[in-house]
Amino acid sequence: MAKSRKERDYLGEILVPSDSYYGAQTARAIRNFKISGLRFPQDFIRDYAIVKLASARANMRLGSLDKKKGHAIVRACDDIVFGKLSDQFVLDVYQAGAGTSTNMNLNEVIANKSIEILGGKRGDYRVVHPNDHVNMSQSTNDTFHSVTHIAAYIEVRTKLLPTLERMERELAKKGKEFRGMKKSGRTHGMFAVPITLGQEFSGYAATISQRRKFVQKAAESLRSLNLGGTAVGTGLNAPRGFSKEVVKEVNRITGENFTVARNMFSMTQNTEAELQVLDAMKTLSASLIKIADDVSYFSSSDVGELSIPAVQPGSSIMPGKINPSMAEMLKMVAFQVIGSDITVTLAVQSGRQELNVMMPVVAYNLLYSIEILNNAVDAFTRRLLAGVRPNKAAMEKNLKRNPITATAMAPSLGYDEVARIVRKSAGKRK
């Protein structure tokens, strides 16, 4: 039988595994929220530890936190930042509103690690207390919200935007490579006036460029942090100047340029910045679906104007069958992102009074969407776009049997006469 220790919170005593760094409130959350098995990503936990580290330094600088305790907290946070205590963060993403359980998970792990650093025993919170010392000048309502902004902004800036740039470059490269390769245009799935394959791909490149800029602009709203606003935005229990100091420290650690929220009350009440980013990714996803559909259509057996890389067998029963697997994967991910946008929209609507308590589901869906969209676009670019080739014979064949090429004669013969010629050529005499 596993050994345990007794811990106490204001609900009473509870047993906690003796080898755990988390404490009573985390233990209760583990019992209460056995919901999905989904966890916040380690990058989110890392960024939460950065906020705790920055808060400890700001509190020490402002004279609020004993330096002996403060330096121990900083060392404990360093361990989390470098992933040494990752097994201590086991809470489900579906938990008590606002993310209190996750915040206390961080506070307890940091406190118990700090106690050990100072020579004490885990659970002896007289040495370092999760609330009084680790959570000093903070609340869940400002830290969880700010960490969501920090984590999402860094993931968008360092991963998703560069990945979209690579996709844009690859599409533009194909646009130049396929320049002059004439083919039938198509609208409504039917033949239309001629176009070049290069022109089609240049359109895809321009679309991704526009969507990338939309995402980039939306992400700028995440640079605002409400650290120091504490529970409702009044700054209660935070020393004067804390917000400025803690954000400065976050920037020093991350190398980013976050700012103090202009209005703490608005940011604590709302999660519109997160929704703006997901809305931008939803729009991007709609464009990705269109591009994936086009590639699938033009490479299909019926059209055959594009040849795509064979990345894996397409059937368990039909030997030699090849499917547009990467395009199908991209669409699935895009559908998931669009679904996440709906979830976050509903969560944003659920903000009440001084707080939006739906922060955990907002944070999870935002970060998950960034991750899978980045990975899917990267894989699609590397494993499909980079290897796509034109089938000139199919393009020429389809162009020859396309009666709509007669549209070029309309200015000289008139619309009605050309329409008669087209119908006649299709064997549709009146």
Q: Which amino acids are annotated catalytic? A: 188, 315
> Residues 6 or more apart from 227 whose CB is under 8 A from it?
51, 54, 55, 138, 142, 143, 146, 242, 243, 246, 247, 250, 260
| Parallel/antiparallel/unpaired status of strands 224-225 and 259-260 | parallel
> Residues 6 or more apart from 429 whose CB is under 8 A from it?
423
> Residues 6 or more apart from 318 whose CB is under 8 A from it?
none
* Contact predicate 78/113, CB 8 Å: no
Which 3-state string (H, E, C) describes the chain? CCCEEEEEECCEEEEEECCCCCCHHHHHHHHHCCCCCCCCCHHHHHHHHHHHHHHHHHHHHCCCCCHHHHHHHHHHHHHHHCCCCHHHCCCCCCCCHHHHHHHHHHHHHHHHHHHHHCCCCCCCCCCCCHHHHHCCCCCHHHHHHHHHHHHHHHHHHHHHHHHHHHHHHHHHHHHHHCCCCEEEEEECCEEEEEEEHHHHHHHHHHHHHHHHHHHHHHHHHHHEECCCCCCCCCCCCCCCCHHHHHHHHHHHHHCCCCEECCCHHHHHHCCHHHHHHHHHHHHHHHHHHHHHHHHHHHCCCCCCCEECCCCCCCCCCCCCCCCCHHHHHHHHHHHHHHHHHHHHHHHHHCCECCECCCHHHHHHHHHHHHHHHHHHHHHHHHHCHHHCEECHHHHHHHHHCCHHHHHHHHHHHCHHHHHHHHHHHCCCCC
* Contact predicate 26/87, CB 8 Å: no
